[in-house]
Amino acid sequence: GQQLNQSPQSMFIQEGEDVSMNCTSSSIFNTWLWYKQDPGEGPVLLIALYKAGELTSNGRLTAQFGITRKDSFLNISASIPSDVGIYFCAGQRVTMAGANSKLTFGKGITLSVRP
């Protein structure tokens, strides 16, 4: 099946640094989503992207929907300790019968922030 590639599996940065994460696919998606999972909790939606080329910000987070519709990136600026967690990208294709049965998740990137 189709896959979303997120690498590396883990990233370690210093507090205050910026960090960028990519998500790539061999397939085209209509929607790109970025989720964050804090330890012991469920994923929480950070940003949703609906148009190729779209650049959207949410506080210190900025995400872009790639022009080819096969990739997306998430940038975190001026990182702080609470940015620690797992960051998942997810791509969605047009659904015909309903529901998000065609939602595909990447395997996630674990971010560690050193104080």
Partner 1 sequence: NAGVTQTPKFRVLKTGQSMTLLCAQDMNHEYMYWYRQDPGMGLRLIHYSVGEGTTAKGEVPDGYNVSRLKKQNFLLGLESAAPSQTSVYFCASSSRAVHLLTRTNSPLHFGNGTRLTVT
Should residue 103 be labelled a site residue for partner 1 when binding is judged by CB under 8 A?
yes
Should residue 58 be labelled a site residue for partner 1 when binding is judged by CB under 8 A?
no
**CA 96, CA 110: separation in Å to the nearest integer?**
33
Helix (H, G, I), strand (E, B) or coil at 44: strand
Q: Which span sits near partner 1 by CB under 8 A: 16-24, 56-64, 71-79, 90-98?
A: 90-98
How many residues touch partner 1 under the rule CB under 8 A: the total is 30
Site string for partner 1, 6-45 (x = CB under 8 A): ---x--------------------xx-x-x----xxxxxx
Q: Which residues contact 44 (CB under 8 A, 6 or more apart)?
A: 35, 36, 37, 38
Which residue's CB is nearer to partner 1, number 67 or number 78?
67
Q: Are 62 and 40 in contact (CB under 8 A)?
A: no
